Amino acid sequence: MLAGFKPQDTDIILASYPKSGTTWLKALTVALMERSKNQSFDHHPLLSDNPHGLVPFLELHVYRESSSPNLAKFSSLPRLFSTHMPLHAMHETLKDSPCKIVYLCRDVKDTLISSWFFRSAIHKMEPTRSLLEAMFEAFCNGTIYYGPIWEHVLSYWRRSLEDPKQVLFMRYEEMKEEPRGQIKRLAEFLGCPFTKEEEDNGLVNEILDLCSLRNLKGLEVNKAKRFSQTFFRKGEVGDWKNYLTPEMENKLDMIIQEKLQGSGLKF
């Protein structure tokens, strides 16, 4: 699918399993990269475009229609792209490229619940138990669009251990728990660390506020289209506890534990 994609050395690819917080990662990355250009936030790109409009998915937007799309609009460097594909699916494309990849991982049970609400919202349906049960089975069997979630996560996790300069492995829960530390980690990885002056001037908090769920959800640009709204829901850690039965919890936990065994990665 991405056969025609020739990454540039400076490209940045934001990768995630769907419903892991991709929108947040996109907003934060845009805000980090933009800060050299925007002295004030009054005309910030995040105020006039949804984060998905600013950082397109390679497989869903850029290469969907053609294997040689016109990339002229990505002339400003670094180019920012995103993907939901597992790393092994992009092996050929990325194998000789030093471009940076940021992977955002989220608790599997929260990802499932978020997917359930998202699927229901885009089909304009109530989130029913029967849909949740069907999606739960699909998660457990790995029979879903982007493949088994454990293979997805592990593909990036292993690469991040092999080459931490190329792949930064981030966790949604850590971003929620210590956003300042995590955004600084992201900025350093991307090669644009906060200066002392920026920190003293409160820029870290300003970016976090700009990209907060509450703020993005309330922006006209994200309220205007139903589809854009669906990317912003609760953003809570552990929301699955409100919906999964103890049996579902145990089954998913056991599968994930078994699949991640020996990898050093824990949920």
The answer to whether 180 contacts ligand A3P (rule: CB under 6 A) is no
Q: Which of 114, 155, 222, 228 binds ligand A3P (CB under 6 A)?
A: 114
- Minimum distance of ligand A3P from residue 63's CB (angstroms): 20
The answer to whether 85 contacts ligand A3P (rule: CB under 6 A) is no
Q: Which is closer to ligand A3P, CB of 106 or CB of 159?
A: 106
The C-alpha angle 202, 29, 12, rounded to 5 degrees, equals 145
Contacts of 248 (CB under 8 A, 6+ apart): 136
The C-alpha angle 84, 32, 80, rounded to 5 degrees, equals 40
The answer to whether 20 contacts ligand A3P (rule: CB under 6 A) is yes
CA distance 16 to 11: 16
Catalytic residues: 84
Q: Of 252, 254, 258, nearest to 240 (Cα)?
A: 252
Q: Which is closer to ligand A3P, CB of 59 or CB of 110?
A: 110
The answer to whether 213 contacts ligand A3P (rule: CB under 6 A) is yes
- Minimum distance of ligand A3P from residue 235's CB (angstroms): 3
The answer to whether 179 contacts ligand A3P (rule: CB under 6 A) is no
Between the alpha carbon of residue 62 and those of residues 57, 66, 93, the distances in Å are 7, 8, 15
Containing 168, the helix (H) or strand (E) segment is: strand 167-171
Both tokens assigned to 206: 């300003």
The answer to whether 228 contacts ligand A3P (rule: CB under 6 A) is no
- Minimum distance of ligand A3P from residue 53's CB (angstroms): 13
The mark string for 52-71 relative to ligand A3P (x by CB under 6 A, - otherwise) is --------------------
Q: Which of 5, 24, 81, 150 binds ligand A3P (CB under 6 A)?
A: 24
Residue given tokens 């080459």 in the structure block: 163
Containing 5, the helix (H) or strand (E) segment is: none
Q: Three-state secondary structure along 86-146?
A: CHHHHHHHHCCCCCEEEEEECCHHHHHHHHHHHHHHHCCCCCCHHHHHHHHHHHHHCCCCC
Binding part of the chain for ligand A3P, among 61-69, 139-147, 161-169, 227-235 by CB under 6 A, reads: 227-235
Binding part of the chain for ligand A3P, among 17-25, 129-137, 193-201, 242-250 by CB under 6 A, reads: 17-25
**Which residues form the interface with ligand A3P (CB under 6 A)?**
16, 18-24, 27, 110, 114, 117, 211-213, 216, 231-235, 239
